[in-house]
Structure 1
């Protein structure tokens, strides 16, 4: 299936629509389950008699294991296609996430979050690859922004679920994990109706005709150097993102170390508002990346983050904290809006199953200790400064790394030779630009 006509770049046929919806739902539910821990790890720690510094490693182990899932499911997808690995992946993380509701102690929950990290790592890379290979290339940025907004949508749903379970029904945190099984099953049903990626099928045929292996494609010097660069870029991105999100609910409720001292319900509604801001930012900047390019919109989002940090971290009232957090999520997650398109356009067809996912998730590993570091810093310099220093430093790193990188906006996946790097040569159908 080739791109739709340029005159109707937003129209999707049934297969494209199913692929996009399934990927969006899959990433949304991944984020829903991940952020449940962020919202209730203080409550879980109290039940299991575990200090917050140790509880913070529940998010760390999930992030550390995500590259394992990206590699295993991604390599499998490059060999046999996208559909079956994605279906197996959603089954895995659905069951593991549900079992978290029955964890009897911290050790069992830790192991379950480890396994969940493997499933979460496989979902983003394969879902984004399949979607970007199917949607019209003229509007990849637009669909990229909506797809990445699934992450904030999951956080938003987790916040609403927390308010429902905690404030309305006064139920245990375990019910939050039990709720996650239903939308995950909906994702599975939709994904089972998606056809295989024709870009993958064509690429596989080219590899077989040229007797080229996936290993040979990856160890091409240009592709390998780009891989290292993208890992560093994604480390900065993940540090910026998690720096604004993971500790913030705890900061809002904390009464010591400069915490805002808000009640759980108020903190929950602030989380709803700032995730709405994140969704808006993703869609707007993702769409703008089709016009301005991936690099320009990423730099814009990261640059706008820096002056918002004082409102986000140091505001004395709930109203201004709500405003600051909504604005900073719009800018940081707005920069993320171009990432599904950007990473997939920078990836060779032959290894797009694991290449974008593994670069993203290895960057996550480098950023995995963000929450424990912020929690430790909060004990010495306070929550506001802990967030300001980590987020500000990460935003500067994103700007610099993006400025000196490359992009391949609008590249035609059907025209690419699987042995070439994405921006390697001039192609009439591709827009490929290098950094100044």
Structure 2
């Protein structure tokens, strides 16, 4: 039995949950940083006298960094390993977040936010790829959605930091707290193994066999009768040649690449357009900063059951149905949220929008790395994420211009409703189902 087949037949064990927590904490710190800037913006706008267009560009510049970082990080992870890139990108965005607290003007903050985005963009697809390559096929969807659920916890942490820190110690302290994740790299170095598929693809068979044998012992699997074979169909095209962008557009992968880019562009456009602006939009509607933070904190709590429900459904009804359904329901919620109304109505529709939008995100991070083989998995995932970040670059700036017009709130959320519905239809009509399939079976 080959080494990859042995890896896939290891039952879910303590190791898988440990890896989930270790990669998930990195995900949490990513979200915490992304969330902090959303809560800082309304305070910063008042202190620095920023226009809505300038506020939108602060959100967009981080997404530009994420687009560049996603491509560079994915390429580096396929060349130098998942573990090393995961660690380096975490250090980069943590230090850059601390520097944001030292920003002395608008231009310096833009520079530091670009660096933060570069680190974030490089880490996210790499962490998802690493978890994907270790998860058993039957439960892979559940594990990746649970990994993505740490994003909701990170946003919750950002909301709590903003609520408890910014009004009393200033926005700078929120950024300084966001620099602390750099210390977490030491735990990654000790607790996260390199991807077996990456090691096998690079000809480092002895290391791969040693790790798999250890995992089998931990799971109580008797591997004494298993020969140490080292080949696998997924790696039959792995010659060590330079990874090329054109591989994403071969007849084998072109359709997958197109649908993934559509999904990523639409979901990132809607998410960052909505949630980067959410605190500022509510302040503009007449709510106090403290009350706004309270409302957004409640909406953020709704993300967690959204993730958990998607984790339950994804390996039962499949990737396509879960993703299309959650996007469509998020679109409906966004429409009614944009109609305004009472605080109770805003809370209900805002919470439902948060529930379904973040549940959809969990499915996207599951689905993307499944559609490419090992040698270009992080690279392909990184490019999909990068295209999505361009959607995120556009959205905050477009919202900044739209919100200043009459009935701006309604028009903004009607736009997001249309975008999410279009993506839901594209997934349902053209998406490829991957539920329950081994990675090498999908990527053929």
- Rounded Cα–Cα distance in structure 2 between residues aligned with 1:402 and 1:410: 18
- Rounded Cα–Cα distance in structure 2 between residues aligned with 1:115 and 1:135: 31
Preserved CA contact (<8 Å) 1:277 1:327: yes
Provide Cα deviations, 1:363-382, integer angstroms capped at 9, x if missing partner.
22133211121121111133
Which residue, out of 322, 334, 351, partners 1:297?
322
Q: Does 1:394 align with 2:406?
A: no
Distance change >3 Å, CA 311–CA 226, structure 1 → 2: closer
- Rounded Cα–Cα distance in structure 2 between residues aligned with 1:106 and 1:384: 26
Distance change >3 Å, CA 83–CA 190, structure 1 → 2: closer
Provide Cα deviations, 1:320-379, integer angstroms capped at 9, x if missing partner.
211111111111111222112100111221111221122022122133211121121111
**1:98 equivalent in structure 2:** 98
**1:40 equivalent in structure 2:** 40
Which residue, out of 357, 363, 373, partners 1:332?
357
Provide Cα deviations, 1:181-212, integer angstroms capped at 9, x if missing partner.
22442255235421110011223334687465
Distance change >3 Å, CA 143–CA 134, structure 1 → 2: same
Q: Does 1:155 align with 2:180?
A: no
Compute the TM-score of the two structures, normalised by the length of structure 2.
Answer: 0.86
- Rounded Cα–Cα distance in structure 1 between residues aligned with 2:275 and 2:186: 28
Distance change >3 Å, CA 3–CA 138, structure 1 → 2: farther
- Further displaced range: 54-63 or 142-151: 142-151
- In the TM superposition, what is the alpha-carbon distance from 1:213 to its structure 2 partner? 4.3
- Rounded Cα–Cα distance in structure 2 between residues aligned with 1:390 and 1:242: 13
**1:86 equivalent in structure 2:** 86
Distance change >3 Å, CA 207–CA 177, structure 1 → 2: farther
- In the TM superposition, what is the alpha-carbon distance from 1:61 to its structure 2 partner? 0.9
**1:276 equivalent in structure 2:** 301
- In structure 2, the gaps of 5 or more residues are 204-234
Q: Give the SS at the match of 1:347.
A: coil
Q: Does 1:226 align with 2:237?
A: no
- Rounded Cα–Cα distance in structure 1 between residues aligned with 2:76 and 2:443: 25
**1:367 equivalent in structure 2:** 392
**Count of equivalent residues:** 407
- Further displaced range: 79-88 or 177-186: 177-186
- In the TM superposition, what is the alpha-carbon distance from 1:229 to its structure 2 partner? 2.8
- In the TM superposition, what is the alpha-carbon distance from 1:22 to its structure 2 partner? 2.6
Provide Cα deviations, 1:86-123, integer angstroms capped at 9, x if missing partner.
11111111111111111111111100111111101111
**1:204 equivalent in structure 2:** 202
CA RMSD of aligned residues (A): 2.2
- Rounded Cα–Cα distance in structure 1 between residues aligned with 2:41 and 2:404: 17
Q: Does 1:214 align with 2:239?
A: no
Which residue, out of 345, 349, 357, partners 2:370?
345
Which residue, out of 250, 260, 279, partners 1:249?
279
- Rounded Cα–Cα distance in structure 2 between residues aligned with 1:188 and 1:62: 26
Q: Work out which structure has the larger RCO, using CA pairs closer than 8 Å and 6 or more positions apart in sequence.
A: 2
Q: Does 1:407 align with 2:433?
A: yes
**1:181 equivalent in structure 2:** 179
Distance change >3 Å, CA 23–CA 211, structure 1 → 2: closer
Q: Give the SS at the match of 2:191.
A: coil
- Further displaced range: 202-211 or 263-272: 202-211
Distance change >3 Å, CA 327–CA 219, structure 1 → 2: closer
**1:428 equivalent in structure 2:** none
Distance change >3 Å, CA 262–CA 50, structure 1 → 2: closer
Compute the TM-score of the two structures, normalised by the length of structure 1.
Answer: 0.87
Preserved CA contact (<8 Å) 2:305 2:355: yes
- Rounded Cα–Cα distance in structure 2 between residues aligned with 1:362 and 1:86: 20
- In the TM superposition, what is the alpha-carbon distance from 1:250 to its structure 2 partner? 1.2
Preserved CA contact (<8 Å) 2:92 2:119: yes
Q: Give the SS at the match of 1:354.
A: helix
**1:194 equivalent in structure 2:** 192
- Rounded Cα–Cα distance in structure 2 between residues aligned with 1:341 and 1:3: 19
- Rounded Cα–Cα distance in structure 1 between residues aligned with 2:372 and 2:406: 41
Provide Cα deviations, 1:257-315, integer angstroms capped at 9, x if missing partner.
xx2x1111221111111111112111211320101110000111112223323542224
- Further displaced range: 220-229 or 129-138: 220-229
Q: Give the SS at the match of 1:395.
A: helix
- In structure 1, the gaps of 5 or more residues are 417-421, 425-436
- Rounded Cα–Cα distance in structure 1 between residues aligned with 2:287 and 2:189: 41
- Rounded Cα–Cα distance in structure 2 between residues aligned with 1:218 and 1:373: 30
Preserved CA contact (<8 Å) 2:28 2:154: yes
Distance change >3 Å, CA 286–CA 191, structure 1 → 2: farther
Which residue, out of 11, 14, 18, partners 1:12?
14
